[in-house]
């Protein structure tokens, strides 16, 4: 039995989408057990699958932390919130493997650091979301925003933690790891990048293939991109924004006249398929690599499918012993600060 | 008469595209005078407009600096290169207003710093390219890669220099300036961003509207985005890459079957127009704001149109007294290091 906590509040479509996602995940994975945190009556009102009730537990937590709250303060004070309650359950129960939250990113990060802690040897936990590449593959970005200021040794650990993730959850045999930089040549970038380049090159447990320019993120040439959290965040949101803006502009073009409308009609099926392919909901959430137990943070606008994918990610990570793998891999690599 | 140097070598399509671009620009602007640097015989071989010869001067420079060369070293040693020769001409002749180069970015930057110098008061020159937004407007990004490591005061100057540029060359009345950050809230980012935020907020000569997330670059909400050169480079190339990858993926989708092929055929005209709209060649090059005289760096793959646009940018900057405007604006703002 794999036990996971689902924070049912936070997220634009919570608690309905969260509870629906939970039910779908339970239907697919028969040794999954979910602990739902949040206002008990509201959650009960959303539940619709009686037959699953022996694998669902509800822990009452009437308070909700939102994006408006100051993360650190909220985590310290809002003990009755669905997130803090969930993290407490996770910390105190050996048989619970992880938590999924669709709530505020800052609060999930602060909560993990303050209430859960890190895997032994981890310098900084880091977000690692997965994106679809344009050639039907995937690529991970680590760190996508947990650490705006980084040291070279952090980036080396991001590479190790991200590689373990891609290997254990997505079956990528020997993940090709690139360092985000302003050019591909080894001497590019500032002090951080040049030192990180040397550390990565010398690291046996990482299949480092060199620098990557941001334009190549979706090219399919790399499995994992490591970077500081600031540029990772810029990279991710710029890519997402440009994809959406391009599609939006084309959509406006489709409506231009009768001819274009007819053309768009013929392409409708293909375009819907492409839209589904690009939909981040199908790629789950961002893991917080390096946290003591499994933490998956879903996109704030996740619908039931998105939540379900996040739960499945956590489930797969638990099955593959992700946290133990990371601890082992970090021990094997030379430690440094 | 406005005199501008055109480095005719460097760039994937040089010298042919460079010389063609020069001729087109001369045809359109009757008080433009161009000094072409590079191998004289080769340039003469490319010239085809006899009637313009009184506004064309050729200065022989047999050597070419490429992207393979170490920028600083090349600038110091390769005195017979078309770029160094061009920069020397610019420095030594009061009547020459600027230079356009399609050559290696690093060399243009190093050459400007070492051979030309900065406008009085400028802490660091910065690249400021212009992009089309998805709602038919434009947006500038400053710095897009000249300075990988930045101090808050640099970013304030980037805002001032970029605002003058948008006002004087593109007629944007009161450019809305945003700071690139990981969230829109004022306290977001690291030390650099928080301090830059305060400086920008306090700066009277900049219409600062707050933080911008990278996904909003093409939204049309902002006229200028300021950032350190590393994240600016990530922002720019990620946006460019994602647009191209999205279009490429759709293009593959168009060829899927007879139905999609027919649809694509009906959309062809619209798609061609969109492609032209998104083509960076139509937006000229990136200026190196803060250089003592006008420096425009064109995209390495520029064709004749791209080169022509770069020359026209330099021409407009010269006509509007860009460098003098920047010096004045910096003097008016409180100086700081």
Which ipTM did the prediction report?
A: 0.92
Please tell me the distance in Å from B189's CA to the nearest CA on chain A: 6
Q: How far is CA A263 from CA A251, A254, B250, B255, in A?
A: 12, 8, 14, 13
Q: Is the pLDDT of residue A245 over 80?
A: yes
Distance from CA of B254 to the nearest CA of A (A): 8
In this structure, the number of other CB atoms found within 10 A of the CB of residue A12 comes to 11
pLDDT band at B329 (very low <50, low <70, confident <90, very high): very high
Q: CA-to-CA distance for A291 and A91, rounded, in angstroms?
A: 11
Q: Is the pLDDT of residue B335 over 70?
A: no
Q: Picking from A83-92, A248-257, B106-115, which range would have the lowest pLDDT averaged per residue?
A: A248-257
The span from the CA of A228 to the CA of B234, in Å, is 12
Chain A CA closest to residue B264: A263
Partner B contacted by A258 (CB < 8 A): no
Asked if B145 is an interface residue toward chain A (Cβ–Cβ < 8 A), one would say yes
**Average pLDDT of span A202-224:** 96
User: Confidence band (pLDDT; 50, 70, 90) for B284?
Assistant: confident
CA distance B245 to chain A (A): 6
Cβ–Cβ contact A27 with B under 8 A: no
Does residue B336 surpass a pLDDT of 60? no
pLDDT (mean) for A192-211: 96
Between CA B168 and CA A182 the distance in angstroms is: 29
Q: What angle do CA A159, A163, A166 make, to 5 degrees?
A: 140
For range B289-305, the mean pLDDT: 96
**Better-predicted residue by pLDDT, B154 or A246:** B154
Work out the minimum CA distance from A51 to partner chain B, whole angstroms: 43
- Put simply, the chain B residues between 182 and 201 with a CB less than 8 A from any chain A CB are 182, 189-191, 193
> A255 in contact with B at a CB cutoff of 8 Å?
no
- Rounded to an integer, the average pLDDT of A180-204 is 95
Nearest CA in chain B to A216: B241
Nearest-by-CA chain A residue for B278: A246
Considering only the beta carbons, identify the residue of A134, A182, A267 that sits closest to B263. Answer: A267
What would the mean pLDDT of B168-178 be, rounded to a whole number? Answer: 95
| CB atoms B241 and A214 under 8 Å | yes
CB contacts, 8 Å: A278 with chain B: 246
pLDDT at position B278, please? 77
Q: Which chain B residues contact residue A141 at CB under 8 A?
A: none
pLDDT given at position A269: 92
Whether the predicted pLDDT of A328 surpasses 50: yes
Compute the mean pLDDT over every residue in chain B, rounded to the nearest whole number.
94
A253 touches chain B (CB under 8 A): yes
User: pLDDT band at A337, cuts 50/70/90?
Assistant: very low
Q: Would you tell me which residues 61-120 of chain B have a C-beta closer than 8 angstroms to some C-beta of chain A? A: none
CA distance B236 to B216: 12
Number of residues that this document lists for chain B: 337
Sign of the torsion formed by the C-alpha atoms of A61, A62, A66 and A70: negative
B132 touches chain A (CB under 8 A): no
Q: How far apart are CA A11 and CA A244, in angstroms?
A: 21
* DSSP β-bridge partners for residue A208: A177
pLDDT at residue B50 is higher than 90: no
| pLDDT in the model for residue A276 | 81
Res B232 pLDDT > 90 = yes
| pLDDT 10s digits, A40-58 | 999 999 999 888 989 999 9
Note the pLDDT of residue A93: 97
**pLDDT over 80 at B251, yes or no:** yes
Per-residue confidence band for A280, with pLDDT thresholds at 50, 70 and 90: confident
Label the pairing between strands A176-180 and A207-212.
Answer: parallel
Q: 3-class DSSP state for residue A303?
A: coil
pLDDT, average across residues B96-109: 96
Q: What angle do CA B189, B194, B198 make, to 5 degrees?
A: 150
pLDDT band (50, 70, 90) for residue A281: confident
Q: Which residues are registered as beta bridge partners of B81?
A: B63
B240 touches chain A (CB under 8 A): yes
Q: Assess whether pLDDT exceeds 70 at residue A104.
A: yes
């Amino acid at each position: 039995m794999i036990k996971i906590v689902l924070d049912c509040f936070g997220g634009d479509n919570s608690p309905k989408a969260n509870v629906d996602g939970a039910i779908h995940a339970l239907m697919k994975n028969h040794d999954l057990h979910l602990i739902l945190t949040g206002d008990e009556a509201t959650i009960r009102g959303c539940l619709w699958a009686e037959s699953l009730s022996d694998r669902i537990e509800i822990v009452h937590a009437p308070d909700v932390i939102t994006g408006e709250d100051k993360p650190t303060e909220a985590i310290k004070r809002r003990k009755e919130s669905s997130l803090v309650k969930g993290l407490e359950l996770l910390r105190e129960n050996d048989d619970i493997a992880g938590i999924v939250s669709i709530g505020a990113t800052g609060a999930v990060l602060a909560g993990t650091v303050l209430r859960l802690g890190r895997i032994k040897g981890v310098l900084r936990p880091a977000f690692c979301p997965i994106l679809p590449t344009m050639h039907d593959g995937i690529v991970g970005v680590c760190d996508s925003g947990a650490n705006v200021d980084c040291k070279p040794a952090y980036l080396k650990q991001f590479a190790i933690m991200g590689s373990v993730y891609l290997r254990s959850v997505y079956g990528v045999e020997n993940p090709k790891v690139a360092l985000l930089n302003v050019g591909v040549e080894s001497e590019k970038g500032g002090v951080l990048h040049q030192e990180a380049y040397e550390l990565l090159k010398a690291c046996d447990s990482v299949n480092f293939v060199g620098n990557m320019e941001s334009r190549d993120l979706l090219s399919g040439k790399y499995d994992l991109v490591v970077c500081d959290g600031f540029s990772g965040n810029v990279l991710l949101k710029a890519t997402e924004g440009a994809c959406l803006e391009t599609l939006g502009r084309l959509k406006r073009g489709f409506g231009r006249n009768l001819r274009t409308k007819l053309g768009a009609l013929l392409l409708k099926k293909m375009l819907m398929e492409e839209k589904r392919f690009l939909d981040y909901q199908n790629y789950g959430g961002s893991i917080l690599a390096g946290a003591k137990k499994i933490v998956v943070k879903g996109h704030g606008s996740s619908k039931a499918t998105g939540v379900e994918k996040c739960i499945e990610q956590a489930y797969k990570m638990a099955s593959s012993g992700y946290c133990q793998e990371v601890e082992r891999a970090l021990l094997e690599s030379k430690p440094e600060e």
